Amino acid sequence: MSKQDGSARQVTTGPVDDSATPILHVDMDAFFVSVELLRRPELRGKPVLVGGTAGRGVVSAASYEARKFGVNSAMPMSVALRKCPNAIVLRGDYASYAKYSKRVMEIFESITPRVEKLSIDEAFLDVSGARRLHGSPAEIGWTIRERVRAETGLTCSVGVAATKYVAKVASGRAKPDGLLVVPAADTVAFLHPLPISALWGVGRVTEESLARLGLRTIGDVADMPADALERAVGPALTARLRSLAAGEDPRRVLTGREEKSIGHESTFSYDLVEPDDIRRELLRLADDVAVRLRRAGLVARTVSLKLRYGDFRTLTRSRTLPEPTDVGRRIYDEAAAALAGLIGEGARVRLIGVRAEQLRPAGGGALLWDPDEDWRDAERAIDEVTARFGRGAVRPAALVRGKRTTAGAGRADDDAENDGRPVDVRSEVTRRLRDGD
């Protein structure tokens, strides 16, 4: 049995058929804010935001009191403060969030080994094999909520359903601090009254396209003739939306998720207009992506560039390499080639992102001729220096003496005298390793 309150929150309050609902989605409630309130209990009940305030800082998390004003995560902090002028803004303590996340995930894994961590504050659990020790899926959901509260002081919301998609929707409906079981037989009845924004893959643009057809709910999508839907959103998205509207989702809970891509992006505190500044930022991002690839033991076959202009127009471009790479200079060259033609007279750039895709394990065989051999050797030597002396001990000359230009980590350097290549970087690395300075 479940009930719905005036805020559209739904929770299970009594016996319910959970015999065919082995999938749980557990989502921490306002996680970053909740961790902060553990050490600042005097702020409970007040509108609290976690995020950056400088330049174009964004909201990382908002308390439920702040959300009543229309504030949500990823919103520019300047907009959030206009909506909620009395909000209390706290800078994030991500080491503390990681510590609490680890404790929460350990609770999940003590109940079932089949845990798929989605992010720092949410996970899917398949409890098919945990019934004998821990009870039914609904009982396991209650146990998880009680243990998380007792062992960390935090609250979480749990959705229980037959599929991952429905379980995630259910946890969102149960927020905050609730549990909602959707019996397998009631899946369609649960989904169809919900707004179309509850369908995975429906963002603002798709929602507007569907709204022009008069579609407002998931049930409307299910009832729409397939050919009419295809004309609006295409055949691929039509097939997916109709499956989700029927509650179908064949994906299993995966315990060993492979990273599909690795990327970095920066939003600038002021728009970049000089091509040299943009390419310099591109170099820094490419280097950061390459470092993460090497640490993960991966190489990438595709490099993707993301560019957002001052008017919020956003473009993406991708280039596929002849051979996969983990070399920052190769990633930069491909991203710079994708950038050509996208910047020019009057272009103002608000955000740049670089992403490595089509990942595979490194070491799949040596090339007869490796055009990146020198750069690869240099960058691996830099990795060794970084491990010993810290990040930034050796950098490309274009990034040295740079000034910060982003709300995150972007830099511009008006003093650089070359195109971003390190100046005799291999000899500098060798000297630092030898001398230990």
Give the pLDDT mean for 337-353. Answer: 87
Which of these is catalytic: 122, 281, 334, 379? Answer: 122
pLDDT at 395: 56
Distances (CA, A) of 15 to 138, 371, 389: 9, 66, 59
More confident of the two residues 210 and 369: 210
User: Same domain for 356 and 240?
Assistant: no
Backbone phi, psi, residue 95, to 5°: -65, -40
Write out the H or E segment, with its range, that includes residue 294.
helix 275-296
Hunting for tokens 């643009």 — which residue is that? 205
Q: Is the pLDDT of residue 264 over 70?
A: yes
pLDDT at 268: 86
For residue 2, is it within any domain?
Answer: no
Q: Are 342 and 307 in contact (CB under 8 A)?
A: yes
HSE-up of residue 312 (Cα within 13 Å, Cβ side): 1
User: Same domain for 67 and 171?
Assistant: yes
For 220, the domain range is: 192-245
User: Same domain for 209 and 236?
Assistant: yes
In whole angstroms, give the CA distance from residue 17 to residue 184: 8
pLDDT at 242: 92
Q: Is the pLDDT of residue 389 over 70?
A: no
User: Same domain for 229 and 176?
Assistant: no
pLDDT band at 404 (very low <50, low <70, confident <90, very high): very low
Is 27 assigned to a binding site?
yes
Is 413 assigned to a binding site?
no
HEC string of 12-73 equals ECCCCCCCCCCEEEEEECCHHHHHHHHHCHHHCCCCEEEECCCCCCEEEEECHHHHCCCCCC
- For the ranges 48-57, 359-368, 402-411, the lowest mean pLDDT is seen at 402-411
pLDDT at 90: 94
pLDDT band at 311 (very low <50, low <70, confident <90, very high): confident
User: Same domain for 315 and 409?
Assistant: yes
Q: Is the pLDDT of residue 74 over 60?
A: yes
Give 24-63 pLDDT, tens digit per residue.
999 999 999 999 999 999 999 999 999 887 667 889 999 9
Q: Are 432 and 394 in contact (CB under 8 A)?
A: yes
For residue 165, is it within any domain?
Answer: yes
User: Same domain for 87 and 208?
Assistant: no
- For the ranges 184-188, 306-310, 343-347, the lowest mean pLDDT is seen at 343-347
Q: Which of 317, 316, 323, 307 is nearest to 358 (CA)?
A: 323
For the chain, give the mean pLDDT. 84
Q: Is the pLDDT of residue 252 over 50?
A: yes
In whole angstroms, give the CA distance from residue 335 to residue 337: 5
| Centroid of chain to Cα 334 | 24
Using only C-alpha atoms, the chain has a radius of gyration, in whole angstroms, of 25
Does residue 41 have a cis bond before it (omega within 30 degrees)? no
Give the pLDDT mean for 347-364. Answer: 87
User: Same domain for 396 and 269?
Assistant: yes
Any idea what the Cα angle at residue 306 is, between residues 235 and 291, rounded to 5°?
A: 120
Q: Is the pLDDT of residue 373 over 80?
A: no
Domain holding 60: CATH number?
3.30.70.270
Hunting for tokens 């609250």 — which residue is that? 155
User: Same domain for 394 and 313?
Assistant: yes
How many other C-beta atoms can be found within 10 angstroms of the C-beta atom of residue 78?
12
pLDDT at 357: 92
Please identify, among 156, 182, 208, the residue that sits at the C-terminal boundary of a domain. 182
For residue 256, is it within any domain?
Answer: no
User: Same domain for 281 and 418?
Assistant: yes
Give 104-160 pLDDT, tens digit per residue.
999 999 999 999 998 899 999 999 999 889 999 999 999 999 999 999 999 999 999
Residue 300, helix vs strand vs coil: strand
Helix 235-245 and helix 226-233, axial crossing angle in degrees, nearest 10: 130
Q: Is 122 a catalytic residue?
A: yes
Q: Which of 396, 362, 361 is nearest to 382 (CA)?
A: 396
- For the ranges 208-217, 360-369, 388-397, 411-420, the lowest mean pLDDT is seen at 411-420
Domain holding 227: CATH number?
1.10.150.20
Residue 113, helix vs strand vs coil: coil
Domain holding 294: CATH number?
3.30.1490.100
Domain count, the chain: 3
Q: Which of 295, 317, 299, 315 is nearest to 261 (CA)?
A: 299
pLDDT at 258: 61
How do beta strands 156-161 and 115-119 pair?
unpaired
Any idea what the Cα angle at residue 15 is, between residues 12 and 17, rounded to 5°?
A: 95
Q: Are 61 and 31 in contact (CB under 8 A)?
A: yes
In whole angstroms, give the CA distance from residue 177 to residue 91: 24
Contacts of 164 (CB under 8 A, 6+ apart): 23, 25, 124, 249, 251, 253
pLDDT band at 419 (very low <50, low <70, confident <90, very high): very low
Q: Where are the beta strands (DSSP E) in 254-295?
A: 261-272
pLDDT band at 432 (very low <50, low <70, confident <90, very high): very low
DSSP code per residue over 91-112: ---HHHHHHHHHHHHHHHHHH-
For residue 128, is it within any domain?
Answer: yes
Q: Which of 145, 169, 160 is nearest to 28 (CA)?
A: 145
Give 208-249 pLDDT, tens digit per residue.
888 988 999 999 999 999 998 988 888 888 998 999 999 999
Question: Hey, CA dihedral for 347, 353, 358, 360, is it positive or negative?
Answer: positive
pLDDT band at 411 (very low <50, low <70, confident <90, very high): very low
Strand pairing partners for 28?
156
Reported residue count of the chain is: 437
Q: Are 308 and 314 in contact (CB under 8 A)?
A: yes
Backbone phi, psi, residue 348, to 5°: -120, 120
Any idea what the Cα angle at residue 225 is, between residues 219 and 231, rounded to 5°?
A: 110
